[in-house]
Structure 1
């Protein structure tokens, strides 16, 4: 017998809370599930998740949000990937592009064909075969045409740089139009029933809010999932050294480029995120190797443009909840876990968690096996992203500071060790269904860190070297010819989606 949820209460606004309300209001349309957001006027949004990955486009499409309107409302710019400065050694850069790299060669993985071409004396770069990388290099951009038959136009992908506070405001207004209830209040007390399920919330205005299900978007403090339900946090600090970030905003001092910049520093790394109206800057660091004052000085020394606000230090513990779904509560955003923003995955994890939640949406029977399967699925996502971030540190050859010396001997998860070993031996990174980072992403980081496999696939020796070289050279020319016909990134924004002032 059906026993569906009749109500979902989201505690906390911000990016996580309003993304949840937006997506769930779309997914539950016609189901008579009442969605309520309790948003405290006294708790500020952290608002630093301003660089995204291509899944943001899936979120917008699923929620039927007009892209042009969203970009204008959030002062967004486009993002084709991340440029990593000084990671492998000082003064060197590499790029992690979105989308596909290369065009398949007779069914073989393109990376293998490229390795074979190198052995034959070809001198082209891995990134020469990435439309997104070449677009970023020339600061070109256009939205990808729908169902394009052109392999170059169908190969690139993009995300957005956006103002997180403006995103929350935009989604809040949209949710009001879609019938989501909002209560402006602070939760004072959480009451559990005899089975340790959340029964109701007592607010600071003395109102009581009951609901069948609750989503905890209360940030690092985890008011529901941790304080009330006592779900423990799995600490990954031994695998990822950084535990603090200092953030500041500056005036836009030029035309925004279509990529994020992540620059390695003495005790971590700094980011630069160019929006239409300003630039977001931050320094993620380890307080084992740098104090707050030193970090603020490093950040302010390296920013450009007039500083718009006082630097703010945000402490964090890398890791995740041991259960993200427990009883009648889902932890979301910072309440569920935190992985440093090196690959801009915070908003992606919010979206992916919600997608899993909708797929495994509980009813009022709250089947424990359903909960278990959900938690297994989201654990896989967290571990994949964790390992990909660790990859950036453990492959660096820098040893010019105590922080980077620590990275030389850092603990590497077994799951990552296996991946690196297989790559070094055979040049293979397996594409697993449901994973976020494709093999092309792994190849881009490993190539950027100057790690190459010992061998390519043996059957590629059957390829005629000259024919392979001609095919690959044609790929490079086609990409460059296509990209150079595109408008400049800044011109495209000005013509199609200039921000509202």
Structure 2
């Protein structure tokens, strides 16, 4: 057995997006002299279909000091202002969960109460008319920073996840991370503590370490197989368990937003990149066969498929604890939630940030630090779960077996409570630091047709004429701010020199 001369401070098991995000962050933030190794095998593929993000990725890229234009060039990226949900309420209807503000608050009340009152009076237009991001997105426009009127337009990215991992690999290796080519054949545990002592690789090699990150994907080789942490199965409330993915040639609109298109037994994603469009169909195998899923996806592409369809099987849920002993699970090893709201990369990012906040000096952390981490992770995952369930349960696609099933599911108590507050008086409460804001919940509740029976009576203090004027002025101001914005295609090309981003013929 060939053993490294001394234990590494950090050993990352697995590459892909999660592994190389972890390696880059450790290389950037751990003390000088920290020894970091990442073991992966060219023979083992990664899932890597998540190509859409949310604005929090700016925090991660910014912390690493990445140049945005270079990052977009290297990852063939484009801009994202929100997610369009097509057919989720009914066939032929669409709404958007756009980033940024919707309308404007007045006094102590958020906008939704004035909109709900105006809707009852017949004065309100669809919510999209009061969202800067949605107005820009629907007209294929994009800009960075504040508008001429000083309003922020937050954005995220679409990018090739494989290219992002390669980009971060170069970043990490340039800062001393050692990549070890090999297949993990065994996880050796310490006989006394039960913590991980080393990874045994093919070729009779051993990689000892003080702290380990499990980025081994669905297999969860360290956190699951070796340490035996349990798994919380959420398939009873998020029953999709399959995906088909395939890129295709560019075609259609070069949208600065992700499309989520409801299909017979699930939904299809569409993500435009500079060099291709990322596509996939997420579905329930109890309601749709693999052959039917393949046919559905191939029939709804904007261009010729580039490669074979890639089937993915999954169970929605999470590890009961993400940090056990001296091992932290990241990415698919920590759990899986379908990419309906583009949260996969964010969950890796937030876990890394949380770990760095309580990083142990040597190896295993204190029980208090681990308990805090695991409690925060569980809260974050559960609240994201509830938000995803909302999209499904509030559909009105009656007569379709899958959609009828999800509309009548028993819901988590946390979601039931949130829906009750909304239905009673249009109230939305963001608990602690849950990921999705009141504005995000507002857009999906309204878009999915979940009616609020009332609103805060303080909204009645505004005279009806003033309410109408406020809505009209808000809409007009947003339209004027969008008008001078360049097209997404042109803006991207000017910003990064993206010659491969072309309008379809």
Normalised TM-score (structure 1): 0.95
Q: How does 1:257-268 map onto structure 2 within 5 Å?
A: 257-268=255-266
Deviations along 1:294-321, whole A, 9 cap, x unmatched?
1101110111201111101100000000
Alignment match of 1:179 (pick from 176, 196, 206): 176
Q: CA deviation at 1:31?
A: 4.2
Deviations along 1:98-133, whole A, 9 cap, x unmatched?
111122212311111222222343132222111111
Q: Does 1:235 align with 2:236?
A: no
| Other structure's SS at 1:302 match | coil
Could you say which residue in structure 1 is the equivalent of 2:335?
337
Q: Does 1:297 align with 2:329?
A: no
For the residues of structure 1 that align with 2:17 and 2:326, how far apart are their CA atoms?
22
For the residues of structure 2 that align with 1:165 and 1:408, how far apart are their CA atoms?
36
Could you say which residue in structure 2 is the equivalent of 1:285?
283
Deviations along 1:307-340, whole A, 9 cap, x unmatched?
1111011000000001100000000000000001
Q: CA deviation at 1:495?
A: 0.9
Q: How does 1:92-491 map onto structure 2 within 5 Å?
A: 92-145=93-146, 150-152=149-151, 154=152, 156-194=153-191, 195-364=193-362, 366-491=365-490
| Unaligned segments of structure 1, at least 5 residues | none
Could you say which residue in structure 1 is the equivalent of 2:493?
494
| Unaligned segments of structure 2, at least 5 residues | 1-6, 501-505
Q: Is the 8 A contact 1:16 1:350 kept in 2?
A: yes
Deviations along 1:455-498, whole A, 9 cap, x unmatched?
11112211122122222211111111011111110000111113
Q: Is the 8 A contact 1:255 1:490 kept in 2?
A: no
Q: CA deviation at 1:70?
A: 0.4
Deviations along 1:132-164, whole A, 9 cap, x unmatched?
11111111101114xx79442x2x211111001
Q: Is the 8 A contact 1:129 1:476 kept in 2?
A: yes
For the residues of structure 2 that align with 1:293 and 1:311, how far apart are their CA atoms?
11
Q: Is the 8 A contact 1:270 1:283 kept in 2?
A: yes
Aligned length: 492
Q: Is the 8 A contact 1:270 1:299 kept in 2?
A: yes
For the residues of structure 1 that align with 2:92 and 2:252, how far apart are their CA atoms?
23
For the residues of structure 2 that align with 1:265 and 1:254, how far apart are their CA atoms?
19
Return closer, same or farther for 1:485/1:500 CA change in 2, 3 Å cut-off: closer
Return closer, same or farther for 1:116/1:255 CA change in 2, 3 Å cut-off: closer
Structure 1 residue runs of 4+, over 3 Å off?
Answer: 148-151, 498-501
Could you say which residue in structure 1 is the equivalent of 2:14?
12
For the residues of structure 1 that align with 2:497 and 2:253, how far apart are their CA atoms?
13
Deviations along 1:56-114, whole A, 9 cap, x unmatched?
11111111111100000100010111111111111111111011112221231111122
| Other structure's SS at 2:274 match | coil
Q: CA deviation at 1:362?
A: 2.4
For the residues of structure 2 that align with 1:102 and 1:32, how far apart are their CA atoms?
50
| Other structure's SS at 2:299 match | helix
For the residues of structure 2 that align with 1:464 and 1:88, how far apart are their CA atoms?
33
For the residues of structure 2 that align with 1:400 and 1:271, how far apart are their CA atoms?
23
For the residues of structure 2 that align with 1:175 and 1:500, how far apart are their CA atoms?
28
For the residues of structure 2 that align with 1:107 and 1:477, how far apart are their CA atoms?
23
Return closer, same or farther for 1:264/1:254 CA change in 2, 3 Å cut-off: closer
Q: CA deviation at 1:207?
A: 2.1
Q: Does 1:58 align with 2:59?
A: yes
For the residues of structure 2 that align with 1:322 and 1:84, how far apart are their CA atoms?
31
For the residues of structure 2 that align with 1:164 and 1:120, how far apart are their CA atoms?
47
For the residues of structure 1 that align with 2:8 and 2:203, how far apart are their CA atoms?
24
Q: Is the 8 A contact 1:332 1:350 kept in 2?
A: yes
242-251 or 107-116, which moves further after superposition?
A: 107-116
For the residues of structure 1 that align with 2:86 and 2:412, how far apart are their CA atoms?
25
117-126 or 265-274, which moves further after superposition?
A: 117-126
Q: CA deviation at 1:254?
A: 4.2
Q: Is the 8 A contact 1:245 1:283 kept in 2?
A: yes
Q: Is the 8 A contact 1:398 1:404 kept in 2?
A: yes
For the residues of structure 2 that align with 1:498 and 1:75, how far apart are their CA atoms?
11
